[in-house]
Structure 1
């Protein structure tokens, strides 16, 4: 464990650019929102100042309406596409001044990461000042997600683009994207061609990629006016993973409010809304939930008014929320252990949970979010299992993660059949979350 910890810390050190930690050199040269949050969680154990600086840099890019963007761009880096020029965020009156960002968001891990910084800081006064400085920004982001992104008053977040989910090319988006007709897409020059070509077998196909750019183009045409966008946008999904993290983040926000002496009533109302509607929106048949492996949690398509019944790792992330009953979690554990999610079928290299059900036609062992093992989703499952007292099952996942990084490197994601590392080398959030799995003392909120 000492060697593993040293290696993980070395990667975070290497990827630090003075303001934030890049996810992986050459492949991802900018600051990504939930990447930085995961990285700050790892750094909270070993470098409080760096964790604070990373999240402060991200929060400083917050839009006036509360949105924290999924990318903060380094304008010196021109290799990544879509670049800051493509987003044209100055069309929006809410865009930050003198900071280049994208025009979409990402899962709200921010309150969680900020609490970690305070909890693990040796200098609690420094941690407290950081919370006091940023509490209103964190609350404003959560409020944005429960208002602008939830006019249904469900307590669940609507995403307007697959990239907002963090699971960019998941099978979940296949059907919603298939219903989108591109009416007008300006020509674009992908300056990332060399990297894309190297990763062609493990990335989004060209037709879907055009639709992803078309969704951004529609946002630009509406000047990022979310009321206009929401009323007529062709892609609106209540997302299980995003909403699960949103709920956990609200619980951490309550904890932060208690630490600094702020009122929590409004946040508690958000939490109650989520608790009321989570099963309603994400279970197609709540009565039959425990009787069939087909009854998992699924995203809900607001355009088609139906569930997107794709069996992916997102279906299990609700275990992270604390919203499930012990009985429901017990059934989850059975499914994870004996269904087609990598254990007891002789198919997988280690018993970590892959991106999709290995028996489904959309499973692809090397394609990004369509099959490979990701450390951040397994980290959430590990925490969820610990919350409900399934220590042995949690240990299985943790041991699987450690085997992957020890023998196959700190990679972006992993082939579930061989363990081979794929995507970015020396990937920051993999290193950061391994640090947390080694050093964590006690369960989460």
Structure 2
């Protein structure tokens, strides 16, 4: 029997497919992709999956656009959709098309946005990470002309490259280029963004050629792409459990300890989903269970939102978002 939250999630996903444009362009937030709705469809109504797959093909950029705010999550999400789909054979023609388009797009990203030639992408606009991260960056001093290598964006790209390697193996493709990207990017993340003193990943400021001393949830998210070693991942877990997040009412706020509902912090649903998946990759089941429990409790109490207040739990943005419903469905059923 479905819970009330499952029923709400199912209804929102079905309604999104019935809308004239379930994946608007440009999306409201960088992670609002048709592939997220496809993930929800796998759980709620698999008959909707072909429609979302078609939308995803339309959504994948054909070339790099400096004004785009789309995060490179498509490959990783697509692999999760495929792993959960019951009728995998029916997805193969679509996977061929998506694989080729994503491979070309990732190649374009590296050609246009890799100033260090290390397979790490730079970001020069706060909108590229979406709210509340955009507010966080704008709150930092001297942001004019700032270029940075951000752990979140690059984690998602590495995660997607890893997924494309798996899909490419399934489709019998030459993986030489992808494997090179993947291995060199992981090495560079640990070389440039890992801070051994704090046990956290930090953004890298290209102008100063130094890390930015910023404590935020993005520093924990590289676990999603299995970027840290086991030892590094254990230090990240220690930071989550004994550092500034330890006294949070709910885990895990984008910026620990901040209370403003309209400022640059919140319980961000997509961030918590990424953190949950990352913890599971390192068999950190207790910590993952708390993230899941707190996130689902907020949704059950306040309704389906994309962000929640870190202290009161009040829903802040994205009320009845089908994208949020899709992520909650995935949390509920795993």
Contact 1:300 1:307 in 2 (8 A): yes
**CA 1:18–1:401 in 2, change beyond 3 Å: closer, same or farther?**
same
Aligned length: 331
Report the equivalent of 2:238: 334
Q: RMSD over aligned Cα, in angstroms?
A: 2.4
Confirm or deny that 1:356 pairs with 2:255. yes
CA distance in 2, matches of 1:332, 1:179: 27
CA distance in 1, matches of 2:225, 2:31: 17
Report the equivalent of 1:60: 58
Contact 1:412 1:423 in 2 (8 A): yes
CA distance in 1, matches of 2:171, 2:32: 26
CA distance in 2, matches of 1:54, 1:103: 24
Q: Which moved more, 1:42-51 or 1:238-247?
A: 42-51
1:137-286 alignment runs, 5 A limit = 137-167=101-131, 168-175=133-140, 178-180=142-144, 234-284=145-195, 286=196
1:8-157 alignment runs, 5 A limit = 8-18=9-19, 20-21=21-22, 34-36=31-33, 37-65=35-63, 67=64, 103-157=67-121
CA distance in 2, matches of 1:325, 1:401: 27
Contact 1:376 1:429 in 2 (8 A): no
How far apart are residue 29 of structure 1 and its match? 9.1
Q: Which runs of 5+ in 2 are unaligned?
A: none
CA distance in 2, matches of 1:142, 1:18: 30
Report the equivalent of 1:224: none
Contact 2:60 2:102 in 1 (8 A): no
How far apart are residue 269 of structure 1 and its match? 0.3
Q: Secondary structure of 1:2's partner? A: coil
How far apart are residue 173 of structure 1 and its match? 4.1
Confirm or deny that 1:414 pairs with 2:305. no
CA distance in 2, matches of 1:247, 1:30: 22
CA distance in 2, matches of 1:50, 1:377: 25
Contact 2:12 2:320 in 1 (8 A): yes
CA distance in 2, matches of 1:332, 1:354: 15
Q: Which moved more, 1:125-134 or 1:112-121?
A: 112-121
CA distance in 2, matches of 1:354, 1:388: 21
CA distance in 2, matches of 1:64, 1:153: 22
CA distance in 2, matches of 1:163, 1:11: 26
